[in-house]
A and B are shown apart, each in its own frame.
Chain A
């Protein structure tokens, strides 16, 4: 972050996204950290498999749900990053195929 900005985010920490270590800043929401890393697609929808990303960013729309430390349905826009946090983006989930 540019040093002449009036606000400096917290210390650099490591978050694991789909198993890959990435850097985030303490105090950030997971949504902001993922956006800063260039993750525009956060998940695929369960019926049509279409990509979805951050939409309302204020806890209303639930389009940014991810799995955090095993807990499903966590809104990335409401969750603060923590060191060592394990994030699985449902974009990695296989599309559900009904059994014949």
Chain B
């Protein structure tokens, strides 16, 4: 069985950015199809509950469910086609996307493509991070919020960034209160950014709301501490934490052992750029916005004509950025097709995006990744989880083969497993750059190739047969 589809605009990703883009483009008269790998639209932020679940009192759900409902209803009313459980795994000609729906392969043809593929969590390795019980904060939030299953035992949050507070809020609401939150930065370090808060009142009140809720639940937040080790036999039993200096380097003599059953650890997010890179978009390294990000003009069109990038994939900034930037990309893509878009609407969308990006960048700066966090990666620490490659192998390969992560990949097999380097890529780049003593730009990034995620050969064979 194969899939064939023609549309004006194909949006990849049904999160806030993709839905906002679809809504804006459809409003301007374009035929829009949104492709998304998950069973329900909404992305990670507006993740919907399974239709098999019942919700006796919708009003008792979080705000993001209501807002997600409203956005989805508007998208459906605008005549947008939502195509869930559709993995985009390749692109072999301009204006085409190779997709997989279950075991059915196919091709989507579009005059414009909007890449709204979002982001995933950045985890920086430490000894024992592969033990069952160590999870990403977003993973745990999905379980408690959308699956109604809480991890057992004593839960501890670690890493850095405001998302830890959002996850703590979800855990509290689910009756699985975390024992403590360890945040790598310190409030004193935030002060120099304070003047930039002016004007962003809605976001400030949101942050205060989270802070109050967590304080009211009696969950302590401890600053300036990082997880340096996780230990346990068949699963996580305890973690070792240390105080760190302003650069994230652990301060000797500050070890502290914490009994933990579930550790949720993340240092912000990484843009999910695999598709944008496969489509040939030029990328640049911008640590502040999460790493490699596609370049774009002021209407969100990438270096490849008719390919737009928007939301987290264009640089980490949060859901408000994604909504604003999605609208801009949708209007931009519609205009690119020759549809009428009022200059005032375009200008308004550009302005809204800039305002939201300013706040997003402020948050990124406050919780900037401290370079010393990478110091926990000892030679015996596992870096590539799929192929079980240690930091020593990566450092030796970098020493021998020089400043190119693709040589390091070829020699060690790091990044060649199931996840295709999504989890270890940034770490391999950083370790290689440090070993050789050069910039992240100089070592580059893992090459991306189709299929972007594993697909079955039999399904591809059907494409050739039909």
Interface residues of A (CB under 8 A from B): 1-2, 5-11, 25-29, 31-33, 35-36, 38, 40-42, 45-48, 50-63, 65, 73, 77-78, 80
Contacts and interface: CB of A to CB of B under 8 A. Distances in A.
Contact of A27 (B44, B52, B422): B52
Nearest to A13: B52
A11 B50 CA distance: 12
Contacts of A57: 135-136, 138-140, 142-143
B37 A59 contact: yes
B55 A7 contact: yes
B386 interface: yes
Contacts of A25: 52
Nearest to B151: A35
Question: Which applies to chain A's interface (DSSP): helix, strand, loop or mixed?
Answer: loop
A7 B146 CA distance: 9
B152 A42 contact: no
Contacts of A9: 50, 52-53, 147-148
Contacts, number: 134
Given A10-B52, A57-B136, 5 more contacts: A9-B147, A28-B50, A33-B149, A58-B139, A63-B385
Nearest to A10: B52
Contacts of A2: 175
Interface residues of B, number: 48
Contacts of B387: 47
A80 B50 contact: yes
B220 interface: no
A10 B60 CA distance: 18
A6 B173 CA distance: 10
B148 A5 contact: yes
B41 to A, nearest CB: 15
Nearest to A50: B130
Given A56-B120, A56-B136, A38 B152 contact: yes
Contacts of B419: 60-62
A54 B53 contact: no
Contact of B418 (A50, A65, A77, A78): A65
B143 A32 contact: yes
Contacts of B422: 60-61
A46 to B, nearest CB: 8
A32 B149 contact: yes
Contacts of A54: 132, 135, 139, 143
A28 B149 contact: yes
A27 B39 CA distance: 10
A26 B53 CA distance: 8
Contacts of A78: 37-38
A5 to B, nearest CB: 7
A100 B193 CA distance: 63
